[in-house]
Amino acid sequence: MFEKVLIANRGEIALRIHRACREMGIKTVAVHSTADANAMNVRLADETVCIGPPPARESYLNIAAILSAATITGADAIHPGLGFLAEDANFAATVEEHGFTFIGPSPEHIRLMGNKVAAKEAARRLGIPTVPGSADSVPDVTAAEAAVCAIGYPVLIKASAGGGGRGMKVARNAAELARLLPIAQHEAASFFGCGEVYLERHLERPRHVEIQVLGDGKGGIIHLGERDCSLQRSHQKVLEETPSPALNCTEREQLGTLAVAALGEIGYRSAGTLEFLYQDGEFFFIEMNTRLQVEHPISEMISGIDIVREQLCIAAGVPFGYRQSDVKLCGHAIECRINAENSENFRPSPGRVTGYHPPGGLGVRVDSALYDGYEVPPYYDSLVSKLIIHGKSRNECLMRLRRALEEYVIGGIDTTIPLHQRLAVAPEFIDGDYDIHWLEEFVRRAK
Ligand code: MV4
């Protein structure tokens, strides 16, 4: 096992990784920008290195500074966390070239899944159903129209190097396609540094269902069930739950078997997530995330498996000590993402936290680096806490969630706790009757 791990991230996820290291007797190195000198994960780390000024480009994305920090502290391995460099194949390769272990998938798998067209093609080859679409990127309107002949309108134009929904465009007829294609190509080039786009049939009211997998890199794969991430606004997830209220046991098993077979075939290593759209009883693969995800704790709560610990063991070459039949998924879990934002207009609300009282009790977990007196910096993602609830049943989980949201006090800044309080009593949410558009409508209706 590693003796010392450098955590190349910040905030709650850096603290989450620190905790797993600590429990395994591994020393931690926190790297931080000048804006994060007083952060909780920095205070708790064994060693700290300031790697640059507040802008992420000069600190958390500064590969040379991170590698220097790993060198001077004598770290064995680097955990990239999520966001920042977590899905940068060149970073993963550079880490390894410098003699450190990258705690994550192989650079080849990161690169493959980073290209959405190649990822879909790989998925199709591995027997995973995908959304009907262009087999390749479409260079011009002629190629796009030819592709639409087989797909049918409406189509969605997506960036090959994209993900997360930025720059997507719906075309409902040939005129819209001709108008939107060059705009989408231009946006793809400016957002992602690659102007290639592809087409997919536009699913009007799907749910977003993803499956958590762990691979040992030697063909061993297990899954930890699915997560329903349909509750989102502006492509930001707001609340996730597992199991999905939309799936039956057969569908759940089908999805798990499919994911395990496919990723075993490619010898996938570390934690990964296959994202699907689910509509009218059918699954369609859209993307794979080759990283730890924000919502990973709900899978931990129902499985009892510490995903970050598994990532560390896998990266150290320790084979799985259990198999799929040993994984028991118990009860129900929900995560509420709490952001430093106004809960009505979603404007960021950085500043000093005055009064911090997190909830507790059975089945309540709070993943957060907040503390009384902490100053939320304005430079980064506004996620400041994750409230994770576990219950024997979905109903117990919901009752407990309402209780925990009532207890949670974060003073001095606006947070999205009030949004979660409204959501937790909304009839459609209680009934599990929602798709990827429902929350946007719910937020609009509340105004
Ligand atoms: C889609 C879609 C409908 N049809 N693809 C958005 C993020 C990216 N990961 C994929 N996304 C979508 N792809 C087809 N063919 C609708 C979305 C989508 C979405 C997906 C998951 C969660 C929230 C979403 C919000 C808007 C659109």
Ligand 1 shell residues, CB under 6 Å? 131, 156, 163-165, 200-203, 206, 208, 232, 235, 277, 286-287, 436
CA-proximal residue: ligand 1, atom 14 (nearest): 202
The residues, ordered by sequence, that sit 6+ positions from 105 with a Cβ below 8 Å of its Cβ are: 92, 215, 268, 269, 270, 272, 290
Over residues 255-295, the pLDDT tens digits come to: 999 999 999 999 999 999 999 999 999 999 999 999 999 99
State the average pLDDT over residues 328-342: 98
Q: With pLDDT > 90 as the criterion, what percentage of the chain qualifies?
A: 96
Over residues 139-164, the pLDDT tens digits come to: 999 999 999 999 999 999 999 988 77
The alpha carbon of 392 and the centre of ligand 1 are apart by a number of angstroms equal to 31
Amino acid at 164: G
Which pLDDT score, from 0 to 100, does residue 9 have? Answer: 98
State the average pLDDT over residues 363-389: 98
Q: Exposed (0-12), middle (13-18) or buried (19+): which is 369, by Cβ within 10 Å?
A: buried
Over residues 108-137, the pLDDT tens digits come to: 999 999 999 999 999 999 999 999 999 899
Q: Which of 111, 227, 252, 291 is catalytic?
A: 291
Over residues 429-440, the pLDDT tens digits come to: 999 999 999 999
State the CB neighbour count (10 A cutoff) for residue 426. 16
Which pLDDT score, from 0 to 100, does residue 214 have? Answer: 98
pLDDT confidence bin for 7, thresholds 50/70/90: very high
The alpha carbon of 262 and the centre of ligand 1 are apart by a number of angstroms equal to 22
Place of tokens 């990283």: 291
* DSSP type of residue 190: H
**446/442: higher pLDDT:** 442
Q: With pLDDT > 70 as the criterion, what percentage of the chain qualifies?
A: 100
**Mean pLDDT taken over the chain:** 97
- The reported pTM is 0.97
Which pLDDT score, from 0 to 100, does residue 162 have? Answer: 85
172 a catalytic residue: no
